[in-house]
């Protein structure tokens, strides 16, 4: 078997597994999602910057579209690590999201010995 065939089969297996997981998810929970409490979008940068402006425009449009309160929460500091920690410590229920950058998702791993 050549490497292309191996990767194709592996990709199909991963896709099938993901599809099975999505099909098993509870439709009732999906129907309740945005209505239980406000959605928070963490912005790990200071207010007034480009990430903050982007997040606030997204929160406004998202709030209007889904009919639920969406709040931008600025948590600046430590090259966005403080905001990322807040996201990591939040309840994994889909009500907390984060706007990030390459610094948040990749560079901090290289800069800090033990990123928390």
- Nearest Cα to Cα of residue 34 among 67, 75, 64, 71: 67
Q: Per-residue confidence of the chain (116 residues) as pLDDT tens digits?
A: 555 454 445 544 444 454 444 445 555 555 677 778 999 999 999 999 988 999 999 899 999 998 999 999 999 998 888 999 999 999 999 899 999 888 777 887 888 777 66
What pTM value is reported for the model? 0.68
Distance of alpha carbon 97 from the chain centroid: 5
CA angle 93, 95, 96 (to 5 degrees): 105
Q: Give the tokens for residue 75.
A: 């948590």
In the chain, DSSP assigns E strands to 39-43, 70-74, 96-98
Sign of the alpha-carbon dihedral angle for 36, 38, 41, 42? negative
51's CB contacts (< 8 A; 6+ apart) are: 43, 44, 45, 99, 100, 101
């Amino acid at each position: 078997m050549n490497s292309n065939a191996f990767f194709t089969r592996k990709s199909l297996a991963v896709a099938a597994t993901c599809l099975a997981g999505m099909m098993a998810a509870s439709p009732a929970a999906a129907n309740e999602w945005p209505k239980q409490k406000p959605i928070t979008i963490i912005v790990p940068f200071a207010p007034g910057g480009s990430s903050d402006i982007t997040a606030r425009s997204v929160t406004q449009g998202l709030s209007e579209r889904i009919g639920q309160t969406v709040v931008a929460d600025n948590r600046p500091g430590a090259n966005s690590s403080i905001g990322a920690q807040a996201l990591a410590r939040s309840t994994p229920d889909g009500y907390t999201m984060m706007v990030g950058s390459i610094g948040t998702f990749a560079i901090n791993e290289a800069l800090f010995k033990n990123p928390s």
